[in-house]
Chains A and B, each alone.
Chain A
């Protein structure tokens, strides 16, 4: 098998890069977890070369259970630490805890617990809910001020499916649902980064945990998006309740996301993953320019034309890819030379 790579994405783009108007819909990018924060930070850096108006339409929000992430992002960025108070300060049997963890003593506050126990981040998300709402509102207000009741906005949420922090995703989606209310009109794009064996710290023990987390989160997303299965006793509606600190029940009304995209790195390498996902994210955030413009145009077109959601999307052929075509034409040229030499010599 002949392997060809090499995609020349940025050739002609670079010319008027600074002048181009890239963003039509103001966007808020939320990184959930360390991996996602790094991806968001990369986009943050790339977009620093964009025009002032584009930068103004772009906001970043970082969330992580790991405090060190605060030091890895720019000082001006909004960071929400998903931390819990000390164990002794957590009172037992509070609904916002027991909803996730039936018995408080089971709650692991260690870093190792975060990977295996999605509930850890879920609890931390509930505890920091007020902080979360405040930052979301402030960021939306910053990139897209409320104006006469209509605010068009797009929220990109990046989450590593294999991590522990992704456990806070239900709380984040609930916060977004509440923030939207009736005042805003925004769509949510989920960027779900798949775990890959070669990128795991310990492929034998950690990787299965990551896969398990990924499966659980996908099931949550399926259930939370209103799909009806079986008898449909518990599925079939896209709203759910989340209890948050201090004992407030949030009814998270769906739809919780408009499209979820699964990202897989071309190579088992963290830098490659970061660049790859950030590149796709960049394309989708820049919806008035290049790939993003095409992508959103096609998205709206297929959504409009589809008879129903299930019909909208399938199929792909990508032999147009430059790398593949190059290989093909070299092979064709070899065929030509072989014809010439075989017949004439």
Chain B
């Protein structure tokens, strides 16, 4: 009576050689796609199998030397036994190394996947369930015994020796396959452990991110509050004239045309991973959500900057707006009306050529009507030499000698300078002549050598300086309300500046040299 067995025969290592795939990247199934768990298993199997092939070849040549029709000595058998044991040990080492390499690779791939999915698919469930079926295939097997034939066992007729050698080779083949399968199991177990941590961390992190990004959350406040979009430098020579609201508008425009491809996502993940310096993104000792969000933002910022080509300058981003030219014109006119009042009235930048160095530049304003807008704003006849047209409709805007755009602290210094000068003229020791202008002037005149380095009566520029200051003070007084507001950019109350400098009782101030 025939006996049927449905038990599948276990394939040996050499039989598996033609069945397992030799994938270039055995872990590519982690990156997505529709790889079935059976195929994923085969890929891992193929990878471990691949590293053992070399051992299999060495063992094959060993058996080749013990061919059945030749002479065989005792020493040959001893050497063959020792060599075989060494090859089997080598197989274990090779498999261990490959397993460790794959486990490390799995960790970094899952970290990368974790980061990428946080950016593009935070709402999707982590792909854990797909791979749980792998666990069914990961079975630990006991290593089979490989016999150690003696010289007497093999020094037999060629026919018998052939049979015995074949049996011995089959044993080693089974051994190799068992080593291979056990290591596949270890890789799969490692993968499943990582996936488990991945899944738990994902669930927790998603809750944190939802809290951060929705109304009232820290991230929400950071992006909606215009104050966070106002950037200034510690360097007083650097001035950013874009308001927070304008910066937000520009950001929205940039994001409107920003798309992340696979390569960009991978780059972001790599940058975050590098920044973490070994700290995991998932697991029990993972990075703090806020820190992760910051690192993600920095990496994404880098990518935005690369992707959205802004090589022609920041302001070119604004040039999409229909009112760009007008807006920029207004901005420049505001600047002129603001701090340049100080230049014109006090520092005489135009005439004396005193300017604030290293103010700054913006290159690449693309709007052909820019000149018109600015010229209109400044009034007829004024030439705006700082902006000039360039071929290709690119405009270069660069002015480096100006107090316009100087920070309020610089304006305050000027106010302090006037105050100090005023204090010297009206200090208490000269206050004895109340109401007597000539006495006060005589007193000032007598000591003015301390103040003006070139004070000669007939030479030098003393009288010119006095004439200049007198004229300035009158201008200051006449336009005190207007100038104070402009000078201080609204930081001081109207008239503060001048009330501190020129008192009402000194309104008719005649500092002109009485001798003249």
Q: Contact check, A262 vs B254: say whether CB atoms are below 8 A apart.
A: no
The digit string for B335-354, where 1 denotes a CB below 8 A from any CB of A, is 11000100110011111111
Within 8 A of B (CB), among A218-270: 218-225, 227, 229-235, 240-243, 249, 257-264, 266-267
Q: Contact check, A229 vs B467: say whether CB atoms are below 8 A apart.
A: yes
Q: How far is the CB of B135 from chain A (nearest CB, A)?
A: 30
Q: A119-B450, A336-B255 are in contact. Are A234 and B464 (CB under 8 A)?
A: yes
Q: How far is the CB of A310 from chain B (nearest CB, A)?
A: 3
Q: When chains A and B are docked, how far (Å) is the Cα of A229 from the Cα of B214?
A: 62
For B219, B238, B340, B399, the residue with the greatest tally of chain A CB atoms inside 10 Å of its CB is: B238
Residues in chain A near residue B417, CB distance under 8 A: 211-212, 214-215, 218
From A192, A227, A243, give the contact of B456 (CB < 8 A). A243
Q: Contact check, A119 vs B353: say whether CB atoms are below 8 A apart.
A: no
Q: Contact check, A308 vs B464: say whether CB atoms are below 8 A apart.
A: no
Q: Contact check, A215 vs B418: say whether CB atoms are below 8 A apart.
A: yes
Q: Closest residue of chain B to A174, judged by CB? A: B454
Residues in chain A near residue B358, CB distance under 8 A: 280
Q: When chains A and B are docked, how far (Å) is the Cα of A306 from the Cα of B196?
A: 72
Q: Contact check, A337 vs B119: say whether CB atoms are below 8 A apart.
A: yes
Q: Contact check, B238 vs A318: say whether CB atoms are below 8 A apart.
A: yes
Q: When chains A and B are docked, how far (Å) is the Cα of A225 from the Cα of B468?
A: 12
Q: Contact check, A332 vs B401: say whether CB atoms are below 8 A apart.
A: no
Q: How far is the CB of A157 from chain B (nearest CB, A)?
A: 13
Q: Contact check, B468 vs A227: say whether CB atoms are below 8 A apart.
A: yes
Q: Contact check, A337 vs B359: say whether CB atoms are below 8 A apart.
A: no
The digit string for B269-312, where 1 denotes a CB below 8 A from any CB of A, is 00000000000000000000000010011111111110000100
Q: Interface SS of chain B: helix, strand, loop or mixed? A: helix
Q: Contact check, A3 vs B348: say whether CB atoms are below 8 A apart.
A: no
Interface flag for A111 (CB, 8 Å):
no
Interface flag for B500 (CB, 8 Å):
no
Interface flag for A86 (CB, 8 Å):
no
For A106, A216, A261, A345, the residue with the greatest tally of chain B CB atoms inside 10 Å of its CB is: A216
Q: Contact check, B239 vs A317: say whether CB atoms are below 8 A apart.
A: yes
Q: When chains A and B are docked, how far (Å) is the Cα of A318 from the Cα of B461?
A: 38
Within 8 A of A (CB), among B398-412: 398-405, 410
Interface flag for B426 (CB, 8 Å):
no
Q: When chains A and B are docked, how far (Å) is the Cα of A210 from the Cα of B331?
A: 35
Within 8 A of A (CB), among B360-382: 360-363, 382
Residues in chain B near residue A122, CB distance under 8 A: 453-454
Binds B, one of A97-105, A142-150, A177-185: A97-105
Q: When chains A and B are docked, how far (Å) is the Cα of A312 from the Cα of B472?
A: 22
Residues in chain B near residue A4, CB distance under 8 A: 231-233
Residues in chain B near residue A219, CB distance under 8 A: 452, 465, 468-469
Q: Closest residue of chain B to A116, judged by CB? A: B450
A binding-site residues for B, Cβ under 8 Å: 1-5, 7, 99-102, 106, 116-119, 121-122, 166-170, 191-192, 194-197, 208-209, 211-212, 214-225, 227, 229-235, 240-243, 249, 257-264, 266-267, 280, 294-295, 298-299, 301-302, 305-321, 323-342, 344-345
